[in-house]
Amino acid sequence: MINDVQNKLQSFPIKEFQDDLINWYLAEKRDLPWRKDQDPYKVWVSEIMLQQTRVDTVIPYFNAFITKFPTINALADADEEEVLKAWEGLGYYSRVRNLQAAVKEVKETYSGKVPDSPLEISKLKGVGPYTKGAILSIAYNIPEPAVDGNVMRVLSRILSIWEDIAKPKTRKIFEEATYELISKEDPSSFNQAVMELGALICTPTSPKCLLCPVREHCTAFDEGVQSELPIKSKKKKPKPLQMAAAVLYDNTGKLYIHKRPPAGLLANLWEYPNLELDSMSGKTYRDQLGEFLLNEYGIEAELSELTGTVEHVFSHLIWNISVFIGKVKNVNDTNLLPVTEEELQRYAFPVSHQKIYQIYKKADLS
């Protein structure tokens, strides 16, 4: 297949393609906050945030994050709790844990300068083949491929590549093609231009081919198959889980929260005590929750009737959470943290547990 693509590139007008694409990009590119300079740190932060995340979502997070942590050293020295809080709501939280670990590595091993060699930058946590190429090309103007979903969609149409872009090994085909296609004079603009084209013109559904600056070089458009490319196999559906959660409060008005383990789903985030329910147990959700609070956290609470439900969809799971409110009667040895509602604002919660808190706020506690 790689030979197949190499053959197509033999007769492809590479120089004209580069010029048309880059000229369009320079004229039409969006004014995004991470494009104000080529600071490798800011490019890096933006690329991590943009992984599987829309530009419009990222913009406010990026601005706040850079204000809070303007430099490598600032992020390296920051309190982990504060860093996680700055990521709250963005999702894929291991991204920011890896980012801070990598930034510490840059501070210590590379004197605070983001390395500009493919080998060194690849060793940094959270920097995979895409992010490596993105930083090297955008920040350092080095002609490395940065193959993301946009690049695979655009090039699959331009070159009529019918491989399944959902398969990991397929990325290699597009990297090989990009080595040939990329502008050696302006790799930064070239890589960003392909992604910008994918975001604005060569969209997944109903691509705006009549506005496309490289339409005359597009094999798929020429053959009228642009809407059938790229080929992308389906992902499986998320699996539903029945859960119960308790918002516990005591007579001083404090709420009892729990820090999730440092690995796995929502690692290191805070949550209201909760468990996965056993529908075969014959016990009510409320009783299962009450026993769990006692056994797991040594807390006796007077639980409400069902106060509300939260549904939260992850990429691979659906949580169906029954929410109860509990007045704490007796606390033994517990690893729950009692906090005031003001202190609550300092801790990072996943969106699902923000929804749980909203149910508590709306409930009538009389």
Partner DNA sequence: GACCCGTGGTC
Partner DNA sequence: TGACCAAGGGT
Closest CA to 293 of 243, 339, 328: 328
Query: Using CB under 7 A, which of the segments 72-80, 121-129, 181-189, 249-257 binds DNA?
Result: 121-129
Residue 314 as a binder of DNA (CB under 7 A): the answer is: yes
Query: Using CB under 7 A, which of the segments 127-135, 285-293, 321-329, 337-345 binds DNA?
Result: 127-135
* # chain residues binding DNA, by CB under 7 A: 60
Residue 54 as a binder of DNA (CB under 7 A): the answer is: yes
Asked if 112 contacts 72 with a C-beta cutoff of 8 angstroms, the reply is: yes
Tell which positions 142-161 bind DNA, by CB under 7 A.
148-150, 153
Tell which positions 322-361 bind DNA, by CB under 7 A.
350-352
Q: How many CB atoms lie within 10 A of CB 218?
A: 20
Residue 192 as a binder of DNA (CB under 7 A): the answer is: yes
d(Cα 248, Cα 156) in Å, to the nearest integer?
A: 53
Annotated catalytic residue within 16, 28, 47, 88: 47
Q: Which residues contact 313 (CB under 8 A, 6 or more apart)?
A: 238
Shorter beta-carbon distance to DNA: residue 200 or 331 = 200
Asked if 202 contacts 215 with a C-beta cutoff of 8 angstroms, the reply is: no
Q: Please say if 47 is a catalytic residue.
A: yes
Q: Which of 38, 128, 179, 343 binds DNA (CB under 7 A)?
A: 128
Residue 15 as a binder of DNA (CB under 7 A): the answer is: no
Q: How far is the CB of 196 from DNA (least distance, A)?
A: 6
Residue 2 as a binder of DNA (CB under 7 A): the answer is: no
Residue 126 as a binder of DNA (CB under 7 A): the answer is: yes
Shorter beta-carbon distance to DNA: residue 176 or 196 = 196
Q: Which of 205, 330, 335, 366 binds DNA (CB under 7 A)?
A: 205
Tell which positions 69-108 bind DNA, by CB under 7 A.
89-94, 98
SS3 assignment, position 315:
coil
d(Cα 226, Cα 220) in Å, to the nearest integer?
A: 5
Long-range CB contacts (within 8 A, 24+) of 261-270: 265/314, 265/317, 266/93, 266/350, 267/93, 267/94, 267/97, 268/80, 268/84, 268/93, 268/97, 268/348, 269/84, 269/88, 269/93, 269/348, 269/349, 269/350, 269/353, 270/347, 270/348, 270/349, 270/353
Q: How far is the CB of 242 from DNA (least distance, A)?
A: 16
d(Cα 94, Cα 262) in Å, to the nearest integer?
A: 10
Kind and range of the H or E run holding 291:
helix 285-297
Interface with DNA (CB under 7 A): 32, 46-47, 50-57, 89-94, 98, 125-132, 134, 148-150, 153, 167-169, 192, 195-196, 198-199, 203-205, 232, 234-237, 264-267, 312-317, 350-352
Q: Which positions are annotated as active-site residues?
A: 47
